[in-house]
Structure 1
């Protein structure tokens, strides 16, 4: 483990080997003729978009997906080549930059698509477009319910007549791939009801699958987007289980240990009372670093592979753990989630469940003041 990583109060260690393992594990479950799209939006779920993207490209990942124009530009500015898809809605005047830098854009409705097309024509360029279908998420996308199919199909055809937009992709988004296979199949049916009417358009990239439905990426779909599984979060896939490894491990440094000489309360609002003789450790990590306060009632950290329950409220910059009966010293690092120095694992999914949330939020909450340090064996 990198020794200089342990000089800061809190630190996030990132495993390049873990990320590579997860890419290969995801590929193991996919059809061989299906491309993998690595989702690196939100700074690669807090892991760092540029270093993550570089590793994904080294592993042969075909596409990268982001949510904003700024995220796409960050990758291009760092020299990341290959296809990049912006999943979110960008200003139409980004058309010139998108065409020049070969950044593919999503089109979710007719008025936006026509405005984007006009902007591309005025800029003397053409934008590769992926048309988004709303098959049941009820967010972005063209309607796919029977009464609206004529307007949807006619509108999409109009977008790709003439110049300005190039038909590249047709995609949608599962609403509950991890828990509702029947509805996922209904979403596929709705997608196909539009796709079959547009087969003459050159949609070379067709995608709907995500980390929770890797095995459902089959003809006519030829690309699958994966985000959370890349980072070791468990998407509860329908088929099959994935052997994923944590990529991010977040630690806080123990800066003081106390043995109570009498019964005392701990932290703000005095929510916890500990008896005389109890030992506590002050850990330099708090909610400004991304620790979720809701976790404090049932949460614990690992120190040298040992469970140390939280004692009292999580503060902005630090928290307290109960280390009575544990072999712990000042200067040790307490694990919030990930893998500790002993090899013990405290999964992000478990920590998130205790806080009443999901690992996606846990990863994205780790703040910028926590340094990210990539390690490789």
Structure 2
């Protein structure tokens, strides 16, 4: 038996998305061409844009297709900064590296000043700190970026409050993990920019989108043919765009089922390991993410031991897998360096079943005992 509990890293493509992608792959035509084949492919892209816009609560003209969520985050952070004559950037201390790294790049290369918004012990940003900082430095702030939910803990952030505090300051939100899993509306939140990604929602790898207010024009990262409002040049990836739209329109994610699986798993973990700590449990969370600290273990060892039992999970963001360092997210929440390296992320999806939970729970006690023993030997 093999159990996949790493849906926060990537999800299986929905069959309906695979079928849509296959059909599009068989069509000939560059969506920028003016002949019949090009116009037909362009129509497919624009129909898909409409479906995605409906799913995310924005205008179709506000959907800018990119090659990934990372590209969309980079375009938003750098573009909004370059669009302003101000130098201060505010981001939360728990952002994905796709936001953290471009912000740091702007500090190193463009003279930006970066202020990180701390989080409380439950993983929710400190709104009082944000309010105070905005009040004191409103005339200097180019943009604010706070993720909708955290990729390691699943903790959902109060984005509506962030936008309210920001006032006229542009707010960007990385909503890659939240899209299709919880209520999410670009318009209702009042955001300037938002990021989504295909492979987190049953769509294909290699497709994402920047949702950007129609009235906002930011400098481009890629120059060329002028596609996507002249913000993201490059031939549009029609098959992936069509597949993403199919996944979004299908609405196959069952939040209540996924939450039930996660809760059942967490109850089982605590029953067998009362010393385990579920990080962010007291805050609102996504249905499928569970981040658990097992004191006295080493997370990399636990991951490999779980993998040997055919259970796939992770130590945090897949993008930083293989890099042995403590989680900046867990440390921001107050965990020590050691505890931050004693945690695993289990993330559930619609394809998981109760038998998956039962199997993972059946192998976990032995894995933890072996992990404790290995860590004890390593400390000698």
**TM-score of the aligned structures, taking structure 2 as reference length:** 0.29
**TM-score of the aligned structures, taking structure 1 as reference length:** 0.29
Q: Who wins on radius of gyration, i.e. which is larger?
A: 1
Task: Indicate the structure with greater helix content.
Answer: 2
Task: Indicate the structure with greater strand content.
Answer: 1
Higher relative contact order (CA 8 A, sep 6+): 2
